[in-house]
């Protein structure tokens, strides 16, 4: 029984969410996060001819962006446990693989760029997963990892009528998730030190915190994520149905501004000369 429940929590929390729902939830996330990601990737110089690995690609928005940047000679391999949104992209430079970052083989020293966003926070051994990502980078290639951190999450204006209730409920929910799930909601802040441990050079890191108001893409993404967690947290007695209704209402209200999550980015370059490209 205990083993079963650990196993259950090791599964990606949105694995069983219905297609249309999950597609929209991921699209809202990419609408918020892609501008920061593409800025970070552009700074690394990704361009024609590069061979890239996009791990835990989700709806594939970053993989498609990379594929257009590296065309026509470059290649992008996009992996995910769940590739339901990655098929039928019609992009000749993009290969899709169903792949578990912790369990399945990954080529070593192969890619000019290995990128992963908001995935390590969901796996039960993120440090081993990061080591595998770093090992896939070829000499002279780049690793860029981006992860969330929810420590700043909360109402922007303590005087707003929704603020106190919103903060209290979110605190209760985040505390429960920190102790009962493999989702590491504070993983982002660990990235600079963990990436440094991978023996890379030209290290860098930054962080961007997203703010939003009720009804914004960020708010709608948070509402949908809450909806996925609702049944489990109500059953566990962490929050009531009416708490979730109140959170939902605050996130609908355009007069309610909140601080969302922070996206930490950390990057580094594998030592050694860049070697000639070969086909993948
Ligand atoms: C929050 S979504 C992020 C998707 C995408 N990277 C983005 O930022 O838009 C997390 C993704 O990680 C994938 N994932 C979770 N565990 C994984 C694992 N062990 N190996 C590969 N992908 C995994 C999920 O299927 C999901 O697509």
pLDDT at 246: 97
176 CA → ligand 1 middle, Å: 22
214 lines ligand 1 (CB under 6 A): no
pLDDT at 12: 82
57 CA → ligand 1 middle, Å: 6
Q: Which of 56, 61, 98, 187 to mutate to test the pocket of ligand 1 (most atoms within 8 A of CB)?
A: 56
13 vs 1: CA distance, rounded Å? 19
26 lines ligand 1 (CB under 6 A): yes
Q: Strand pairing partners for 267?
A: 144, 204
pLDDT at 10: 56
Which residues of the chain have a pLDDT value below 50?
1-9, 278-280
101 lines ligand 1 (CB under 6 A): yes
117 lines ligand 1 (CB under 6 A): yes
**Cis preceding-peptide flag for 63 (omega within 30 of 0):** no
- For ligand 1, atom 14, the nearest C-alpha belongs to 56
Q: Can you state the angle between helices 163-180 and 217-235, rounded to 10 degrees?
A: 60
56 lines ligand 1 (CB under 6 A): yes
214 vs 220: CA distance, rounded Å? 8
266 vs 260: CA distance, rounded Å? 20
pLDDT at 253: 98
pLDDT at 275: 57
pLDDT at 3: 34
137 vs 131: CA distance, rounded Å? 10
pLDDT at 107: 97
- pLDDT mean across residues, the chain: 92
Phi, then psi, of 67 in degrees rounded to 5:
-60, -35
Under 8 Å CB-to-CB from 223, ≥6 apart: which residues? Answer: 247, 248, 251, 252
Phi, then psi, of 276 in degrees rounded to 5:
-60, 145
Q: Residues, the chain, total?
A: 280
60 lines ligand 1 (CB under 6 A): no
141 lines ligand 1 (CB under 6 A): no
pLDDT at 277: 54
148 lines ligand 1 (CB under 6 A): no
63 vs 52: CA distance, rounded Å? 9
pLDDT at 90: 84
């Amino acid at each position: 029984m205990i083993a079963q429940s650990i196993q259950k929590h090791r599964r990606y929390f949105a694995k069983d969410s219905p297609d249309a729902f999950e597609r929209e939830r991921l699209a809202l996330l990419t609408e918020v996060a892609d501008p920061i990601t593409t800025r970070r990737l552009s700074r690394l110089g990704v361009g024609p001819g590069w061979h890239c690995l996009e791990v835990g690609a989700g709806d594939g928005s970053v993989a498609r962006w990379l594929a257009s940047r590296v065309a026509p000679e470059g290649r992008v391999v996009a992996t995910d446990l769940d590739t339901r949104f990655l098929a039928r992209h019609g992009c000749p430079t993009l290969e899709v693989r169903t792949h578990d970052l912790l369990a399945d083989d990954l080529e070593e020293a192969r890619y000019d760029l290995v990128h992963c966003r908001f995935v390590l926070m969901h796996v039960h051994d993120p440090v081993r997963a990061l080591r595998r990502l770093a090992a896939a980078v070829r000499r002279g290639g780049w690793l860029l990892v981006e992860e969330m951190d929810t420590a700043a999450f909360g109402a922007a204006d303590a005087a707003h009528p929704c603020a106190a209730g919103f903060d209290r409920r979110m605190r209760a929910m985040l505390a429960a998730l920190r102790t009962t799930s493999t989702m590491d909601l504070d993983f982002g802040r660990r990235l600079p030190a963990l990436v440094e441990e991978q023996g890379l050079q030209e290290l860098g890191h930054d962080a961007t915190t997203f703010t939003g108001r009720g009804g914004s893409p960020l708010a709608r993404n948070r509402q949908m994520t809450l909806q996925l967690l609702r049944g489990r947290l109500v059953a566990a007695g962490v929050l009531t149905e009416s708490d979730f209704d109140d959170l939902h209402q605050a996130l609908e209200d355009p007069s309610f501004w909140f601080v969302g999550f922070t996206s930490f980015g950390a990057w580094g370059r594998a030592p050694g000369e860049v070697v000639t490209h070969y086909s993948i």
